[in-house]
Structure 1
Amino acid sequence: MDKFTVLSAVAAPLPEANIDTDKIIPARFLKTTKRTGLGKHAFDAMRYREDGSENPEFVLNREPYRKAEILITHENFGCGSSREHAPWALLDFGIRCVIAPSFADIFFNNSFKNGILPIRLPRDICDQLMEDARMGANSRITVDLERQVVIRPDGSEIAFDIDPLRRHLLLEGLDDIGQTMRRESAISAYEAKQKKDAPWMPSIVLD
């Protein structure tokens, strides 16, 4: 998982509440267990017309938002079914941070585990950031996870809260497996001791 420290990027405004995981990645694309290749299907029903052509009205189909790495939206983002493919699709598209007044709990938790930073900010602040984002490529928003601030194009800063452990894991680029592998030497030492002290017990081998 890539580290998240400071992100300065184009932000895409998506002023809609209750965007569910089926809108983020429709169920028909959930046949894969790979985390890559889903970006082209992110927001599929919103991005494409019935004939498969792009919908020019959708924000992510317009410049400069095709390369947006920050998404600013409204309440209850990521509601609906608990599919981990939703953060996979966002990340594969290029989104590293989502800013909204609130998130569905499962999506919120899955985002951290996949290297996406979800930031909760009041609705009026999100609306201000959307106005900044509508200025396009000349209006980059910066998210500084180390200092826990969002920096607007005018230089003003907005503080946000984040769980200290989750902040640490994102800064270090550690998912669940990464956390475990950092303790590989301790696990191996325990396994060796277990094999010596209780050879009849089954052991776990880390390859």
Structure 2
Amino acid sequence: MEKFQKFTGVAAPLPMMNVDTDMIIPKQFLKTIKRTGLGVNLFDEMRYDREGNEIPDFVLNQPAYREAEILVAGDNFGCGSSREHAPWAIKDFGIRCIIAPSFADIFHNNCFKNGILPIALPQAQVDVLMREADKGANARMTVDLENQTITTADGETFPFEIDAFKKHCLLEGLDDIGLTMEKARAIEAFESRAAAERPWM
């Protein structure tokens, strides 16, 4: 998993509450087990009409936000079913950070496992950042995980809280497999010792 440290990117506004995982990636795209290729179908039913044409008014179809790396959203983001394809689609589109007043628990944890930083802030602060995100191509924000801050283009800074272990995993680029591989020597030593002590197993 790619290390997450500090970056500056365009923030896209999505002022909707209760955005569920079926809205993020509809069920017909869940057949794949690959983590790539789902970005084109992110928010599919809001981005495209029935003929597959882009809906110009949807934020990610607007020129200023086509390469957005930050999403500023409403309360209870990622609710609904626990499909891991939701963070896969978000990451594949290029979004690295989501800011909202709250997240559904399973989605929140899945974000960390896939290298996405979900930041929960008080509604009043999210409102400020939502207005910043409305500035189009000028809606650039800096997310600094090490120092736990979000800074707007005007220099206004918002601190955020994050679990220390989850922060460590993102900074070091460690998913569940990476965490296991950190213990590779200890695992190998245990297996060698077990084989010597119990050769019949």
Cα distance in 2 between the residues matched to 1:66 and 1:160: 26
Structure 2 partner of 1:65: 65
The 5-angstrom pairing of residues 1-207 of structure 1 reads 1-201=1-201
Aligned AA (2:34):
K
How far off its partner does 1:131 sit? 1.0
Runs of at least 5 residues in structure 2 that lack an aligned partner in the other structure: none
- SS of the aligned residue for 2:12 comes to strand
1:28-63 Cα distance to aligned partner (Å, 9 max, x none): 000000000000000000000111100000000001
In the superposition, the TM-score normalised over structure 1's length comes to: 0.95
Deviations 1:144-178 (A, max 9, x none): 00000111111121110000000000000000000
**Matching residue's letter, 1:10:** V
In structure 2, C-alpha distance between the alignment counterparts of 1:155 and 1:200, rounded to whole Å? 66
**1:2-44, CA deviations, whole angstroms, 9 ceiling, x for partnerless residues?**
1110021000000000000000000000000000000000000
What is the TM-score of this pair, normalised by structure 2? Answer: 0.98
Q: Which runs of 4+ in 1 moved over 2 A?
A: none
Does the 8 A contact of 2:12 with 2:139 survive in 1?
A: no
Hey, what's the Cα distance between the residues in 2 that align with 1:120 and 1:200?
A: 53
Counterpart code for 1:121: L
SS in structure 1 at match of 2:56 = coil
* Residue identity matched to 1:25: I
Q: Aligned partners of 1:62 and 1:144: how far apart in 2?
A: 26
Residues 66-123 of structure 1: per-residue CA shift (max 9 Å, x gap): 0000000010000000100000000000011000000000000000000000000011
Q: How far 1:135 moved relative to its partner?
A: 1.2
In structure 2, distance between residues paired with 1:93 and 1:37:
9
Residue 4 of structure 2 aligns with an amino acid whose one-letter code is F
What letter is aligned with 1:136?
G
Q: Number of matched residues?
A: 201
SS at match of 1:108: helix
**Aligned equivalents of 1:134 and 1:200: distance in 2?**
67
The amino acid that maps onto 2:66 is: R
